[in-house]
Amino acid sequence: MKKLMLLVVLCVMASCQQEKMGYVDSVRIMEDYEEQKESAAKFKIKVDALTKKRDSISQAFQLEMQAFQTRAQKMNQAKAQEEYGLMQQRGQFMGQQLQQEEQALTTLQQTERDSIISTIKKEIKAYGKAQGYSYILGGGDTGAVLYGTDANDLTDQILKILNDKFKK
């Protein structure tokens, strides 16, 4: 009987000290956060410009290569091979330059994304502290919350704070 009574007292105490928990849909945060939207749009423009540049250079190089092939038929073999080697070197050099530009853009994009994620995490932490939450979990496709009631979903509140601060 004493063991049962002790168990009841422990259960009551545990229920009185329940931790306040909530969750945030990480996917929705990234989709609906204005700074992320602007960043994605900015990088789409840069990627599109780089793609056009690559296509333009590639097309010009192909035309140059076709013209060379026409000229090469009238050259002696040694001269044609020498010029072909130079053309290959130019093609490789242009390819390397474009690849470096693409890598630099990818690095810049990742750095900006990391900064945005850091801002989101800081805001969630500040919100959690201010509202008395013991835990705020990540939900959505990338999160650990498999189910949560709508009452515990803090996504809209966090998004509003993030977007309001970004607009300022």
- Give pLDDT tens digits for 11-22: 444 455 578 899
Tens of pLDDT, residue by residue over 94-103, are 999 999 999 9
Two tokens at 113?
A: 């994304």
* pTM more than 0.85: no
Q: Residue 73 in 3-state DSSP? A: coil
Q: CA-to-CA distance for 109 and 112, rounded, in angstroms?
A: 5
Where residue 80 falls among pLDDT bands split at 50, 70, 90?
confident
pLDDT above 90: residue 105: yes
Where residue 7 falls among pLDDT bands split at 50, 70, 90?
very low
What pLDDT does 19 receive? 83
pLDDT above 50: residue 145: yes
Residue with tokens 């990818």: 106
Is residue 159 classed exposed, middle or buried when 0-12, 13-18 and 19+ CB atoms within 10 A define those classes?
buried
Is residue 72 classed exposed, middle or buried when 0-12, 13-18 and 19+ CB atoms within 10 A define those classes?
middle
Q: Which is the CATH superfamily of the domain at 18-167? A: Skp domain (3.30.910.20)
What pLDDT does 5 receive? 42
22, containing H or E segment: strand 21-25
Where residue 162 falls among pLDDT bands split at 50, 70, 90?
very high
